[in-house]
Amino acid sequence: MSWCKELIINDYKLLIIPYSLDMNPWHNFKQQPWSILFLVAGMTVLLGTIADQLLVLVLRQSEAANTLLSPLFSPPWEEVMPFFVGLGLGVLGVLLAQRQRSHLMLNSGTLWALVLCLLVSVIVKSAILPYGILQMSGVTLTGIIVGVFWKGRPYWSR
């Protein structure tokens, strides 16, 4: 093997593998396709915000919808709704990222970078529109992580 050195000590063969850029996590972090990932995250949060605002509008305008959906916004469901919102964002983010196959190769590192981009996008959205279901919290972040890695499971080992 020309890319590594062999070292023999007491009849044991040891392979010395040189430190490469591929093994450097900071280098891998810097090499992510950030512009595409932020575009995907921005589109995901934009679609989530539109759905969120349409839901708020429907709840304000329709008494029947308000009566039907109000149990979702009262205990115990109000505690888990941010998780489901985050789960949906994570799944939608992976679906939109899959559409960018020509520009984006999904793997576990890219999925983590997508989680970071979604986190930043949701924080920005929460600062601009501080009302609605889609708000940043630890529960929402947990939902985003579960959604991204649940839908992105085929890309874990790449």
Does residue 15 fall inside a structural domain? no
Q: What is the pLDDT of residue 143?
A: 96
Residue 116 lies in a domain: yes
Helix, strand or coil, per DSSP, at residue 7? strand
The pLDDT, as a whole number, for residue 59 is: 82
Is residue 6, in this structure, part of any structural domain at all? no
* 3 belongs to a structural domain: no
Residue 104: band (very low, low, confident or very high) from pLDDT cuts 50, 70, 90: confident
DSSP state at residue 19: P
Q: DSSP letter string over 45-101?
A: HHHHHHHHHHHHHHHHH-HHHHHHHGGGGSTTHHHHHHHHHHHHHHHHHHHHHHTTT
Count of domains forming the chain: 1
Looking at residue 42, its pLDDT comes to 96
Of the two residues 47 and 23, the one the predictor is more confident about is: 47
Q: Tens digits of per-residue pLDDT, 134-157?
A: 889 999 999 999 999 999 999 877
Residue 17: pLDDT over 60:
no
Mean pLDDT throughout 41-49? Answer: 96
Residue numbers of the domain that contains 130? 33-155
- Residue for token pair 């679609």: 47
Q: Is 149 inside any structural domain? A: yes
How far is CA 101 from each of CA 72, 98, 118, rounded to the nearest angstrom? 36, 6, 18
Q: Is the pLDDT of residue 19 over 70?
A: no
pLDDT-based confidence at 129, cuts 50/70/90? confident
**In this structure, what are the phi and psi dihedrals at residue 50, rounded to the nearest 5 degrees?**
-60, -45
Residue for token digits 């934009």? 46
Whether 16 maps to a domain, the answer reads no
4 occurs within a structural domain: no
- Asked if the model's pLDDT at residue 13 lies above 80, the reply is no
pLDDT at 21: 46
- What's the rounded Cα separation, in Å, for the pair 38 and 44? 10
In a domain, 14, yes or no: no
Chain segment 51-77, per-residue pLDDT in tens: 999 988 888 888 888 788 877 777 888
